[in-house]
Structure 1
């Protein structure tokens, strides 16, 4: 494939690619050729997609090409990388851990099966921190993922490989997951879009804790409409997930494309739970106020979420005991210190400690429901700092305030996790040094459609953050 042809495809949106596939203007195998060329050209210093499976992808694509176009699924053959925490049959899936460095599952997660049924072609696994723990993508098996906007900076995490792949044109769409911001943080750092859906909007599994309510799968892309397209390809009720939600009657892309404006939105500079870098705060506030150009009322209001960081810390600790506690018992020398801390903290909690967290989470949920009776959206910064040096394990200080643990700097996103609301990060500006900044928009539970529609409207108003880019030193 010529360089011009590759560049033309790489720079296209996922919706444009899908239209061309449906019109049979291009073939899925041509998209794989373009991606392979692009990955070879730019991914080396970034390390977004350390595990490739193009042979499997081409077999799938050739099979897809034998079907009538109406039987090729919603995506019609768009390639999609899957985060390295999620099983893909026959593809190395390490979870970033030495314990599973050579694991090749003989089954795929039900979400992967859903995407493939809807015409997604898996061609790579995107990098993640060890077991997805932490918002900086590095692990002892597959190394560090660097931010393509500045290779000396972090791509955030835990879906850091997915975000960096999108930013460099090594993906049009990408799968990720999010407990305390893992779809939203890397989207902010890499200048792309990440959506955490409502609780169990998507069916996944099997897993160690099917009844958990913190970690959710979700879509990432370079713009809001493309994100909605992938969300549509991910939804689907499956009994393997005991809390699965039914599919909506109206697809998310058509709702997003209406760009329906909200009536009144709330902007909070910090959710009352975290310090925020002054430059980030200014960029995000100015971006939120751009809604006023569409005659949307914007008020600076902060709901009462003050207990959320402690609630999240306790419930996260419990989840780590459930999911990873046995691995600590079996392999105490093969887990990073942050994971060991999380598990040991979880084990130190009493029943009353956990009961308090569950009661408080209920109060947070009901409080945010009342809040959404008055406001259509809650808006705040996605991340509290710009991308930080890649050698740094996590943010330990912000705006003169010390942060004790590796999850403290994530309070502005992990707080929203507790509300069960969908949340999206969209690019909203650049720092003085040219690094992306994300704005977090939060909608009502089960309200992905209105959220995507409003985000699409604001994306149209805000200055465009151009991606894909070539990696920058």
Structure 2
């Protein structure tokens, strides 16, 4: 029998194998994770709105299923990002207006996880309205980094990333517009996948054609993230564009040889972003490891001209459309970041939006041409190390002043308008703090990206904690 402390360290596929085979009950698996939550969540505040009774009820139902009825996520305990609906749980969006609201339905990707056997025990913390990459709000407070609780866990899927790193769950859902899967994965040393838009259908959003925002999987390993993506993917009548992946291949990723793989190394995105030297040092090590494994690594970057303005325009317009009326009614319940985004969106014209969509179209076509001759792009997932938890956002990166709270995240969101899949996986450590490597592939090449990412993961063999955990992390400027 596997000991409780060892259970939570197992991967999702192994946990599910144990419960499907009957070697471990879903109730016992849940309790092992709840025990781990009890040990560390008081310090980290990664998971909120925990409902033990509702979770045990779900686990008992999973245990009652016949073996042939047990799905690929059978009995896996998890918590859902507090930006999505889960039946019976609060959905505050990290905003005071929504305190007390309890969901009466599941979002599509949540329903798919439930049908595959997942057991939900709570929600994962986010920034207010999932805006920004530091998970703090006035409903639940701040989420801390499991590698160093004095540091940020990132965001907006910061609670999910911290929960994975702390052993609260082996899989987690997240969402990504400007890096909300990739940045916290980098900060917490886990895997966060932004799929090609539509691969996880935008069925629960006001705009099913949104080229910027998408849900996606998180896990501690690439194979577990691929497993969860296989559950989240699939067509639905509600969304006219929802490309299907080879889900069987996602569940058993092929071994890939990195020899001959064409890698474009973009450590500063062609001079477009400032990057902390400590982050650059880890990425340089990753590039050298790829070269040693036989990959063809050259400094190059996809066309990103116009990406900045297109992203900012469409993001601001969506904020104004979604939250403008609530801001007018309850201005005191909005932080200054979100207020500024909404005000900016109110100044955007219809012509501005159409020009931004035209730019996204051009960038998407340009990216398709670029990846016809390139297999992977290697870039930073975050431009800085996890910063002190007291900060709201870094005002300076490598001596360069940041203009606003979006500026320091440009390494992630400049790629967003290209319509390509991207992920962050552990690249190494600076002191005790993780540094993520962002890998990107061509549009709809999600399976290829995950298979190559698994090969990179095997090559790097980054441990779950820094080998010299007591060594102080590199300093950050304020």
Structure 2 length normalisation: TM-score?
A: 0.94
The within-5 A match list for 1:25-424 is 25-248=23-246, 250-255=248-253, 257-261=254-258, 263-272=261-270, 273-424=272-423
**1:448: which partner in 2?**
446
CA RMSD of aligned residues (A): 1.9
Rounded to whole Å, the distance in 2 between the matches of 1:165 and 1:342 is: 29
Q: Is contact 2:48–2:123 with CA below 8 Å preserved after alignment?
A: yes
- Post-superposition shift, 1:54? 2.2
- Post-superposition shift, 1:213? 2.1
Rounded to whole Å, the distance in 1 between the matches of 2:322 and 2:140 is: 22
- Post-superposition shift, 1:233? 1.8
- Post-superposition shift, 1:50? 1.6
Q: Is contact 1:237–1:247 with CA below 8 Å preserved after alignment?
A: no
Decide which moves more: 15-24 or 313-322: 15-24
Q: Is contact 1:79–1:171 with CA below 8 Å preserved after alignment?
A: yes
Q: CA, structure 1 residues 249+25, in 2 after alignment: closer, same or farther (shift >3 Å)?
A: closer
- Post-superposition shift, 1:185? 0.3
* 3-state SS, counterpart of residue 414 of structure 2: helix
Show CA shifts across 1:17-50 (max 9, x none).
Answer: 1221222111111111101111111111100002
Rounded to whole Å, the distance in 2 between the matches of 1:47 and 1:398 is: 27
> Which 4+ stretches in 1 moved above 4 angstroms?
none
- Post-superposition shift, 1:441? 0.2
* 3-state SS, counterpart of residue 427 of structure 1: strand
Rounded to whole Å, the distance in 2 between the matches of 1:16 and 1:127 is: 26
* 3-state SS, counterpart of residue 418 of structure 1: helix
Q: CA, structure 1 residues 11+249, in 2 after alignment: closer, same or farther (shift >3 Å)?
A: closer
Decide which moves more: 382-391 or 101-110: 101-110
- Post-superposition shift, 1:290? 1.3
Show CA shifts across 1:380-433 (max 9, x none).
Answer: 0110010111111112211111111111111111111111111010001111x3
Rounded to whole Å, the distance in 2 between the matches of 1:17 and 1:250 is: 19
- Post-superposition shift, 1:292? 2.1
Rounded to whole Å, the distance in 1 between the matches of 2:150 and 2:59 is: 36
Q: Is contact 1:222–1:467 with CA below 8 Å preserved after alignment?
A: no
Greater RCO, 1 or 2 (C-alpha within 8 Å, sep 6+): 1
Q: Is contact 2:230–2:247 with CA below 8 Å preserved after alignment?
A: no
* 3-state SS, counterpart of residue 442 of structure 2: coil
Q: CA, structure 1 residues 444+170, in 2 after alignment: closer, same or farther (shift >3 Å)?
A: same
Q: CA, structure 1 residues 211+324, in 2 after alignment: closer, same or farther (shift >3 Å)?
A: farther
- Post-superposition shift, 1:303? 2.5
Q: Is contact 2:193–2:423 with CA below 8 Å preserved after alignment?
A: yes
Decide which moves more: 224-233 or 190-199: 224-233
Q: Is contact 1:111–1:204 with CA below 8 Å preserved after alignment?
A: no
- Post-superposition shift, 1:245? 2.6
Rounded to whole Å, the distance in 1 between the matches of 2:395 and 2:240 is: 38
Rounded to whole Å, the distance in 1 between the matches of 2:51 and 2:67 is: 24
Q: Is contact 1:260–1:453 with CA below 8 Å preserved after alignment?
A: no
- Post-superposition shift, 1:294? 2.5
Rounded to whole Å, the distance in 1 between the matches of 2:247 and 2:179 is: 28
Rounded to whole Å, the distance in 2 between the matches of 1:293 and 1:361 is: 36
Q: CA, structure 1 residues 451+121, in 2 after alignment: closer, same or farther (shift >3 Å)?
A: same
Q: Is contact 2:202–2:209 with CA below 8 Å preserved after alignment?
A: no
- Post-superposition shift, 1:232? 1.2
Show CA shifts across 1:260-304 (max 9, x none).
Answer: 536211111111321111121121122123122331211111232
Rounded to whole Å, the distance in 1 between the matches of 2:241 and 2:341 is: 25
How many residue pairs end up in the alignment?
Answer: 468
Rounded to whole Å, the distance in 2 between the matches of 1:259 and 1:118 is: 28
* 3-state SS, counterpart of residue 384 of structure 2: coil
Q: Is contact 1:76–1:119 with CA below 8 Å preserved after alignment?
A: yes
Q: Is contact 2:377–2:439 with CA below 8 Å preserved after alignment?
A: yes
